[in-house]
Amino acid sequence: MEFLRALETSGFSVWVRESGSLWSFPGILLVHTYGMGIMVGVILAVDLSILGLVPALPLAPLQKFFPLVWIAFWLNAITGTILLAADATTKLTNPDFGVKMGFIVLAVINQRMIQKRLFGEKPSPPATGKALAWMSIACWLGAITAGRLLAYVGTAVK
Amino acid sequence: MTQILENSAHVHLLLNHVPTIGFGIGLLLCLAGFVGKSDVLKRTSFVIFFLVAVVAIATFVSGNAAEAVLAGTGRTDFPPGVSPAAIRAHEDAALLAFALMEVTGFFAWLALWQWRRVPSSSRLPGWTLPIVVVLSVVTFGLMTRAAELGGEINHPEIRESGLRQGDVIQTVNGHPVKDNDALNAATVAVEPGSTVSLGVVRDSKLQSVSIAIADAVAASKRAERTNEAASLNVRRTVLLTQELAAQYGLKLGVEGLLVEQVYEQGSQGPVDTGIARAVGLYVTGRTWVWPTCETLHFVGLCMLFTVVVIVDLRMLGMIRSVPYSAVYQLLPIGMLGFGINLTTGILFFLGVPSQYVHNPVFYWKMVFVVLGGINILYFMLVDEAWSIGAGEDAPFSAKVAAASAIFIWAAVLFCGHMLPFIGNSF
């Protein structure tokens, strides 16, 4: 708790939270939102393609978008960490934040499995692919929901 | 800030004829297309339905700004001749017409999309056409009603029913009323919701005025305060005396009950009623509704970005091995996402209209949404885009359209995100 408080009261955190500059909290959260749209947007296209909902769209070329997915992911990891530091005592003690991280860890593992199993040299059977695609959609839905609800639930003691 | 409001109020007055007229033209073209068996005419009518639905978003939200201008800040000091009840009635009719119109626009878009999907046959799958036709006829009906009620706001002379200050009531359904007790007895006997015919002296002439008996509950509430003919939307009627007759410039010898005050033009009118207000109160009144809608708004955003990233980057040179006809199959995902966000967005708007009508960033967002609606048509209609095969580079026009799409939707997200930071929401 001491560490979290120190993190939250550091000069940078205070600037992010209280400066009122559009480059601080609003701008960082904006990048976080763009990152989410790009990352989940591409992943959704891959999932729907695996599930056979876009029959004309071949799966293999979509792997060209994976670098974009991971750039967006790391962008969100960085902006997310900054936003977290600015609000450490509240967010890190909020159980909902743990739920969000849980979904994201699962989603990342799942995404790596999709890339390895379905875009690798020996593709898995279709049933495995479909299970992974459903898992991907479920995890990202969970992460978005838990993330949005951070603003509403579990405002813990300071 | 006042200027933003007045500008958007003017926008409403400018845009409010587009939906009705546009839909009328679309409907005529659609019928002509069926009669003449012309696919071009049918498709044109669907494009019009879709575009009108897009413009209607701006019409709908600017309508609340127009109301804010008329109402002032507290919604109690409407200018003379503007009735809050007339505005509510128009707003409710408009909400209904708007909802139906967006559904029509969605299916018209889907029908256009299906046209391309099966390039070998130029015929549509059977079910979308009848849906669009039925929806557009119903929408047109609802819209005409909304437009009529809207006209009454600024053209009060159209309003045929209703008593005015200075009227002298002489008869109710043919029975003479000599005093307030007789008036009460005559109106209580009539069922709420039905219409009575009043013999009224107005402008020195005996006229017949039809008026709906107000809702019984509301009427009894008012009657507690006034003990007068509240069911006629009248606050006070008095027995006409010579003195009063002189004051109101009435001829000598006229007998009856003088209408001294009516409920319109003031805060006593039924301001906080109606569908739009009920939906708004539901959104803000339940703790779970707002966060749920926000979450769905984010999900819709991701679906929209599926199209923005994959389709537009294909045009700009990525995954060139994939033909345009393949990425084209993704477009409904984006449109579905847009539909989710339009629905949840309108719910936010109805919940707390003041956060948006006073917010310059919100107007920019609406401008970009309309541009986005126009932009998508390139990807639906232009043959040059459709014929991009596997391994082929997109033509320059397609690249311009794709880059514009990325800019437009990034701007929509930017404006939405900045509502509380640059603007004044929340």
> For position B177, what pLDDT does the model report?
81
Which of B291, B302, B325 is the closest to A149 by Cβ? B291
CB contact under 8 A, B413 and A140: no
Which residues from chain B sit within 8 angstroms of residue A29, using beta carbons?
417
Per-residue confidence (pLDDT) for residue B117, from 0 to 100: 63
Could you give the CA distance from residue B153 to residue B89 in angstroms, rounded to a whole number? 10
Q: Are A33 and B308 in contact (CB < 8 Å)? A: no
pLDDT of B298 > 90? The answer is: yes
Closest alpha carbon to B381 in B26, B25, B48, B19: B48
A34, A37, A54: residue with CB nearest B330: A54
Q: What's chain B's average pLDDT?
A: 80
Q: Report the percentage of chain B scoring pLDDT > 90.
A: 32
How far apart, in whole angstroms, are the C-alpha atoms of residue B363 and residue B61? 9
Measured between beta carbons, the chain A residues lying within 8 angstroms of B328 are: 56
Which range, of A15-19, B140-144, B186-190, averages the lowest pLDDT? Answer: B186-190
- CA-CA-CA-CA dihedral for B202, B208, B209, B211, to nearest 10: 150
Point out the residue among A44, A55, A57 whose CB comes nearest to the CB of B327: A57
Q: Which of A83, A145, A155 to mutate to test the interface with B (most CBs of B within 10 A)?
A: A145
**Nearest CA to CA, how far is B288 from chain A (Å)?**
10
3-state secondary structure of B269: coil
User: B267, B76 in Cβ contact below 8 A?
Assistant: yes
The rounded distance, in Å, linking the Cα atoms of A79 and A58 is 33
Residues 6+ apart with CB under 8 A from B114: B124, B125, B128
Statement: residue A81 has pLDDT above 80 = yes
Give the tens place of pLDDT for each residue, B179-238.
777 777 777 777 666 777 788 887 777 877 777 665 544 455 455 444 445 556 565 677
Tell me the pLDDT band of B264, cut-offs 50, 70 and 90: very low
| Closest to B387 (Cα-Cα) out of B116, B121, B124 | B116
Largest CA distance in chain A: 56
Specify the range with the lowest mean pLDDT, choosing from A46-60, A100-114, B69-83: B69-83
Confidence at residue B2, expressed as pLDDT on a 0 to 100 scale: 61
Least confident among A35-49, B33-47, B68-82: B68-82
Instruction: Identify which of B257, B178, B192 has the alpha carbon closest to the alpha carbon of residue B222.
Output: B192
Looking at beta carbons, which pairs linking B282-291 to residues 24 or more positions away fall under 8 Å? B283/B347, B283/B348, B283/B350, B283/B351, B284/B351, B284/B352, B289/B347, B290/B348, B290/B351, B291/A148, B291/A149, B291/A151, B291/A152
Q: What pLDDT band is residue B375 in, cutting at 50, 70 and 90?
A: very high
Per-residue pLDDT, B191:
67
Q: Are B175 and B186 within 8 A, CB to CB?
A: yes
Cα–Cα distance between B275 and B279 in angstroms, integer? 6
Determine whether the interchain pair A57/B326 forms a contact, defined as Cβ–Cβ distance below 8 Å: yes
Q: Cβ-count burial of B144 within 10 angstroms (0-12 exposed, 13-18 middle, 19+ buried)?
A: middle
Q: What helix, strand, coil percent values describe chain B, rounded to 5?
A: 65, 10, 25
For residue A32, give the chain B residue with the closest CA: B417
Distance CA A86, CA B218 (A): 52
Nearest beta carbon to residue A58 from set B298, B305, B322:
B322
Min distance B298 CA to chain A CA atoms (Å): 7
Q: What is the pLDDT of residues B390-423, one digit of tens each?
A: 989 999 999 999 999 999 999 999 999 998 888 7
Q: State residue B213's pLDDT score.
A: 64
Cβ neighbours of A62 in B, within 8 Å = 310, 319
Tokens at residue B18, please?
A: 């587009």
pLDDT mean over B269-292? 80
* Alpha-carbon Rg for chain B in angstroms: 27
Name residue B259's beta-bridge partners: B237
| Contact map slice: A 50-69 vs B, CB within 8 A | 54-58, 61-62, 64-65, 68
Predicted confidence (pLDDT) at residue B51 exceeds the cutoff of 70 = yes
How confident is the model over B362-371, as a mean pLDDT? Answer: 94
